[in-house]
């Protein structure tokens, strides 16, 4: 057997505690990043009781709206055994109809605009939208391209913005936990603060 695989089998399972929810990732409720959508940019308000029910378990549907797959690699790493998502009650679903939150990566390309709106409409309420990566948060380097609509906030209401190119799995986990933290119902700090603790 490969020595690397033998070493992996001998390792003890990771027992690190989950990071605390980072409410600084939540953008202000009144902020909209533009776009020509006629839909309201205001995030759907969840009552504390609804947020408490989501905190028990969170089912996420991931939508790639046009990313370079850098964020997807970090999401794949987050699904590894080290971060114990299942033990925290977080899992990914194949259908938005079975999800509590939508995790969106990449700028919204013209081809994915309608698909993203349909996926959001299919998620039952109460629901949250998490924008992952600089491209999803503000369009990134592709935001002003003729084929892009910009960041997700120009199309749908964003509840949590996780900046980074790409954000680390730890940052992703903190943002996912922030999406269901009771503090997000009342407190929404500036999304620009989320870049402060990113690695250079």
Domain count across the chain:
1
**Is the residue at 78 inside a domain?**
yes
Instruction: Give CA–CA dist 193/170, Å, rounded.
Output: 16
**How many degrees, rounded to 5, is the angle at CA 73 between CA 23 and CA 101?**
45
**Is the residue at 13 inside a domain?**
no
Domain span at residue 168 reads 49-195
Instruction: Give CA–CA dist 181/200, Å, rounded.
Output: 28
Instruction: Give CA–CA dist 35/32, Å, rounded.
Output: 8
At residue 104, what are phi and psi to the nearest 5 degrees?
A: -110, 130
For 79-117, the pLDDT digits (tens) are 988 888 888 888 899 999 999 999 999 999 989 999 999
**Is the residue at 184 inside a domain?**
yes
**Which stretch of 29-38, 55-64, 92-101, 176-185 has the lowest confidence by average pLDDT?**
29-38
**Is the residue at 101 inside a domain?**
yes
**How many degrees, rounded to 5, is the angle at CA 108 between CA 122 and CA 151?**
105
Q: Quick count: other Cβ atoms within 10 Å of Cβ 148?
A: 22
Share of the chain above pLDDT 90, in %: 36
Question: 27: buried, middle or exposed (CB in 10 Å: 19+, 13-18, 0-12)?
Answer: buried
**Is the residue at 119 inside a domain?**
yes
187: CATH:
3.40.50.12280
Average pLDDT (155-165) is: 92
pLDDT reported for residue 54: 55
Lookup: tokens for 80: 């590894």
Helix (H, G, I), strand (E, B) or coil at 146: coil
Q: What is the DSSP letter of 189?
A: -
In Å, how far are 13, 77, 78, 80 from 7, measured between CA atoms? 12, 19, 21, 17
């Amino acid at each position: 057997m490969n020595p690397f695989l033998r070493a992996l089998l001998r390792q003890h399972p990771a027992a690190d505690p989950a990071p605390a929810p980072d409410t600084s990732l939540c953008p202000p409720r009144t902020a909209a990043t533009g776009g020509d959508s006629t839909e309201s940019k205001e995030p759907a308000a969840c009552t504390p009781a609804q947020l408490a029910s989501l905190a028990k378990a969170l089912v996420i549907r991931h939508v790639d709206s046009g990313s370079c797959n850098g964020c997807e690699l970090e999401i794949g790493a987050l699904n590894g055994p080290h971060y114990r998502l299942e033990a925290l009650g977080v899992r990914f679903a194949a259908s938005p109809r079975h999800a509590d939150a939508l995790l969106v990566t990449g700028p919204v390309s013209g081809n994915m605009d309608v698909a993203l709106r349909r996926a959001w409409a299919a998620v039952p309420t109460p629901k949250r939208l998490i924008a992952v990566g600089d491209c999803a948060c503000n369009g990134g380097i592709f935001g002003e391209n003729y084929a892009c609509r910009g960041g997700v906030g120009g199309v749908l209401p964003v509840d949590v913005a996780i900046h980074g190119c790409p954000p680390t799995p730890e940052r992703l986990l903190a943002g996912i936990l922030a999406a269901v933290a009771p503090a997000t119902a009342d407190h929404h700090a500036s999304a620009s603060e989320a870049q402060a603790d990113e690695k250079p």
